[in-house]
Amino acid sequence: MAMKLFGFQLSRQRKDSDSNGGDDRLKSFVAPNVEDGAASIEIAPSGFYASTLNLDGSIRDDISQIQQYRAMALHSEIESAVDDIINESIVTEEGTPTVKIVLDELDVSDKLKDVIRSEFDNILQMLDFNNRGYEIFRRWYVDGRVFYHKIIDTKNPRRGITELRYIDPTKIKKVREVKKSLDKKLIIKEIFS
């Protein structure tokens, strides 16, 4: 039974909700994220703010770029502009979904479209997008990327994605592994010729 009070939804936590509850089938390399808003930010109490944006391309590291964007977003003028953009992008109204998927021009059967819509709704529910859409969009807008670890029950993969865990973009990096197969005859020809 869920109850609403001052715009917040109060309900009992299910055993299979955010944490894996000791279930060895749901393993992740990302710790569960507690989104209670307890992060404290300290800003120097001066009346002046300064920020620079490097446009000459000398910043080559994604992490330092994300940190620079986050620092810029803390300034009051930029924070106000970002809030205005997000408020125009994420509109919540009672009875209407915040986002929806449109599959009108997709050339597949109606049954497959229904399955896609169902899974889309399932993902939105896992993200708690109706309540946390603002924060999710803000993360993406400021950082320029959003990563989630999709956790699947290994003993019952037909259940699909069972949990989504946010990964901080400063803690993940894209790595490309190139595997080359070498032909032994080609190597011998190159050595002796």
Asked whether residue 192 is domain-assigned, the answer is yes
Confidence (pLDDT) at 175:
76
Q: Which pair of tokens denotes residue 106?
A: 């997709």
Asked whether residue 105 is domain-assigned, the answer is yes
The owner of tokens 């915040």 is 98
b/e 100-122 (16+ beta carbons within 10 angstroms → b): eeeeeeeeeeeeeeeeeeeeeee
Name residue 168's amino acid: D
Asked whether residue 90 is domain-assigned, the answer is yes
**Per the structure, how many domains does the chain have?**
1
Confidence (pLDDT) at 39:
44
Asked whether residue 49 is domain-assigned, the answer is no
The stretches in the chain having pLDDT less than 50 are 17-19, 37-46, 48, 193
Asked whether residue 56 is domain-assigned, the answer is no
Confidence (pLDDT) at 95:
80
Confidence (pLDDT) at 55:
62
**Whole-prediction pTM value?**
0.61
